[in-house]
């Protein structure tokens, strides 16, 4: 089987025999056409198929939305408020961990009850306890990480989310 290709950068017709098993032997001589024609220079291997296991995971509950807001006062006091929404109104618990830029835990709360599909967490820090984010050349840009875990009433892990905070 022969296929005719026309390239904008190489405006001449050239035939390329497409040989079995995905090898394109004609393209080996036309390396300048490879970028324009998207020709594979080797066998085309499937990365999925019936020989690989297929697993379908479903959840009765999951984290839908994470809304984390920070407020810094003029005196540099920091207030963090987080609102987490879950998909089902069933009884579940959240754990919320705030990690410093070096990976150590700044603050954590375990087993916050979720009421009506929403949980709210509010924390406050005095001035100087947290490293604030500044524009380049005015100070550091520390990134805090918030990890939220959703567990059901028998403490089985249901969902985990991580958010990077500026």
Give domain status of residue 48, yes or no.
no
Same domain for 120 and 77: yes
User: Do residue 12 and residue 88 come from a single domain?
Assistant: no
pLDDT digits (tens, 9 = 90+) for 12-53: 444 444 444 444 445 444 444 444 455 555 555 656 666 667
- The average pLDDT across 148-166 equals 79
Q: What is the pTM of this model?
A: 0.61
User: Domain tally for the chain?
Assistant: 2
Q: How many C-alpha atoms does 152 have within 13 Å on its Cβ side?
A: 11
In a domain, 50, yes or no: no
What are φ and ψ of residue 72, in 5° steps? -115, 120
Domain range for 7 is: 2-37
Q: Is the dihedral of CA 114, 115, 119, 122 positive or negative?
A: negative
The confidence score (pLDDT) of residue 82 equals 93
């Amino acid at each position: 089987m022969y296929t005719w290709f026309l390239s904008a950068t190489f405006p001449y017709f050239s035939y390329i025999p497409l040989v079995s098993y995905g090898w394109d032997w004609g393209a080996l001589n036309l390396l300048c056409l490879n970028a324009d024609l998207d020709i594979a220079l080797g066998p085309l291997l499937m990365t999925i198929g019936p020989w690989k296991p297929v697993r379908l995971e479903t959840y009765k509950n999951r984290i839908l939305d994470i809304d984390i807001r920070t407020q810094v006062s003029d005196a540099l006091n920091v207030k963090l408020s987080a609102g987490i929404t879950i998909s089902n109104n069933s009884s579940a618990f959240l754990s919320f961990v705030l990690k410093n830029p070096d990976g150590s835990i700044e603050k954590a709360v375990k087993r916050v009850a979720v009421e009506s599909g929403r949980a709210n967490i509010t924390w406050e820090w005095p001035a100087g306890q947290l490293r604030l984010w500044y524009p380049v050349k005015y100070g550091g840009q520390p990134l805090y990480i918030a990890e939220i875990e959703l567990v059901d009433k028998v403490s089985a892990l249901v969902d985990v989310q991580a958010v990077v905070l500026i």
